[in-house]
Structure 1
């Protein structure tokens, strides 16, 4: 039995050694292939990097060339603009020359039509004389204009004075109309000490108006206005102003205090 086991072990060892030998050769072959493949890949990568570098160089050169082309293009545009400007200036100068030639021809025709004995020098003297006369007339016109302005100012002041006089006359007329007030006491409340008058705002009365009550040639007393309406006024009787032995009664006359004074 032991001998069988020994033989089996020997067989297994031989088989293992054979396979190990085979695997070693295969591994060596595969390793050699991998190394060769890696070398090929590295070479291919190096070639690709070289191509990329070449392409980048070409792209850079293209950008440089494009920039140079753009610069040249701008120069060409600038030259075209300058050329167009020169052409415009030339056309303008030609038009100006033609215009001057036409004016010169017209001037020659006018000179040819001048009366005999009249020369351009004489015309210049006449024109200068006319300019001098015009300047003198303008100076006189300016003086006259100043006189007119002064007169207008005087007229304006006179107009203001006239309007002021008219205003004063109107004010005096209004004051006279107001002082010519003639009103009557229509009701008396002795208990509360006030009266009702048959005149109001329509007659020029306001709360600041001072009123006197008269009867004949006598002054009965004074009033202090409480309220004013269109044609009615309510006023308090000032007891200290009522004459001794008298009292305000309906029918008494009411006038402005300043008219009395």
Structure 2
């Protein structure tokens, strides 16, 4: 009987030792999983803080953009004032040119029906001097007029370019010539990082097309812009079925859709 109890005691001890060993292994696995979870939480928190900082930096850059737009507007006003001044100078030069031409015609007319040579010689010398002076003045006026016309043309071109830049920034559209790529994709947060920024023509708030193989596969909404990069949210329901955005996808300004002709639509 004592042998039976001894055997049972040995069995119970073995079972207890086995359960304790398994509990220890489970505890070690649980501790390892907990450490990994802490590391993932730390990494996620760091990434989130970095993204918050980038967004704040982008907002500061956006405010600087507003200041730059004000400065561009002032420059446009100055260019317009210079252009108006140049136009007035051209009108004045044309009046001087016409006056000199009239003087030249009068001088040529005075040489007709010459009087007595003794009286005419001093007069001829004086008229020739006046004629030379008038001719030189006309040539100078023509040169100044041509220069002012060039200034006028250049001023108009600069005004047009400045207006187009201001209109693009004010309308919230990126430059039509923009072509860049996705550098990073954050699927869990629904946004991407672009390899282009303000210098390349990305405008905050604009809509962009994501292309692959020449086809539009998704649309992006720019949320923040820096000098050389930008962040953009993926527009909901814009991603083509079965498509996943990835780094390297081409990004361009949103294509303008052609509006139907009312007469054609009516037919």
CA radius of gyration, larger in: 1
TM over 0.5: no
Query: What TM-score does the superposition give when structure 1 sets the normalisation length?
Result: 0.39
Report the structure, 1 or 2, having the larger helix content.
Answer: 1
